[in-house]
Amino acid sequence: MAGNSFGQLFRITTFGESHGEAIGVIIDGCPAGLQVDLDYIQGELDKRKPGQSKITTQRKESDTVRILSGVFEDKTTGTPIAMLIPNEDQRSKDYSHNVDVFRPSHADYTYEAKYGIRDHRGGGRSSARETAARVAAGALAKLLLKTLGIEIVAHVSSVGKINAPNVFINDPIEFIAEREKNIVRCADPATAEEMIEFIDSVRKDGDTVGGKISCYVKNCPVGLGDPVFDKLHADLGKAMLSINAVHGFEFGSGFEGSEMRGSEHNDIFVKSHLGDIQTITNFSGGIQGGISNGMPIEFKVAFKPVATIMKNQATIDSQGNAAEISGKGRHDPCVVPRAVPIVEAMAALVLADHWLRNRNARLS
């Protein structure tokens, strides 16, 4: 099975299945001498792990990460870094009723059609369990970016039709602290309460709901990204669309920009009081011509409702016969709050990769 690696110079390869012994990641290309903060990496995993609250799946995983190679005396050595996260609460019996039937909107049918075999226990490689490995790798990438002053922050900006107002990020640390005060990870407290109440009502109904995550990159230098096929926003889009349940990506003005005139949408250049070049507006989302322009990078990621619901649904079996699948096992009414660290991680992996590609270029 191809497609398990991401990145060029800062390259990761994930492995493992939802109900196997463990999942993990190999990171190749991380520069030597980077101080590795294992507590920070574990903290990022703790934000993604299941069982955090009543509005997430109740699978119990500590997601305790072990670094097996590539680190000596808490610093990277420049060799491949292996990270391992054991699976502790698989409960494969919860999926025994899925052996011969295709779950609606899951990867069951497409995997079996492509490979002739599939792991019915939670979907195998198609399970969002795999994203824990990405978060571990992304945390290391974030540590690298922090040495350059680059900060990445995200929050849940909508659930269903509930939308948070636009937020201003002055201090990334304060922003994250405010976001982490509620279980839905929305930086606007009033909207967060409304979101939580709505998700809980969806959970009680045995259903699921989607939402959006807004992500911001602060202090990104000018010059990251390459024409024509390696544009920075193109790689960010690929990274985000590779996350389970993601159905949409937009940067800057996004789809709303298509409704504007050029005279409204153009970002006018000015020279700041510090002498650097900035734009008055940021409809470009910090990226022009596929290359970062020094303004904050802004994008949104849209997640569909989780496909596993606690309701009976009509389907067919592997022989094409009509069947019914019942809602059993653990229920995740809204995956968006746990996806915040995944979005940040994938953004960090893209930026770290592009920084390595451009570190010998002029980034003034």
Q: What angle do CA 174, 177, 181 make, to 5 degrees?
A: 140
> What are the angstrom distances between the C-alpha of 159 and each of 7, 163, 328?
30, 7, 24
Element holding 324 (H helix, E strand): strand 322-325
Q: Is residue 237 part of an annotated ligand binding site?
A: no
307 is in an annotated binding site: yes
**Closest residue by Cα to residue 296 from 306, 284, 305, 307:** 284
| Residue 330 known to bind ligand | yes
285: left (phi over 0), alpha (psi -120 to 50) or beta: left
The answer to whether 244 is a known ligand-binding residue is yes
> Is 209 marked within a binding site?
no
Q: Is 182 annotated as a binding residue?
A: no
Q: Annotation-wise, does 125 bind a ligand?
A: yes
Gyration radius of the chain over CA positions: 21
Q: Is 305 annotated as a binding residue?
A: yes
Region of residue 14 (left: phi > 0; alpha: psi -120 to 50; beta: else): beta
Q: Is 54 annotated as a binding residue?
A: yes
DSSP string, 8-46: SSSEEEEEE-TTSSEEEEEEE-PPTTPBP-HHHHHHHHH
Structure tokens at 280: 């008055």
Q: How many residues does the chain have?
A: 364
> Residue 179, annotated ligand binder?
no
Stretch (H or E) spanning 158: strand 151-159
Q: Is residue 282 a known part of a binding site? A: no
Q: Give residue 28's identity as a one-letter amino acid code.
A: D
DSSP H helices in 219-335: 232-241, 262-265
48 marked as part of a ligand binding site? yes
Question: Which residues define the annotated binding site?
Answer: 48, 54, 125-127, 244-245, 289, 304-308, 330
Question: Which residues define the annotated binding site for NADP(+)?
Answer: 48, 54
Question: Which residues define the annotated binding site for FMN?
Answer: 125-127, 244-245, 289, 304-308, 330
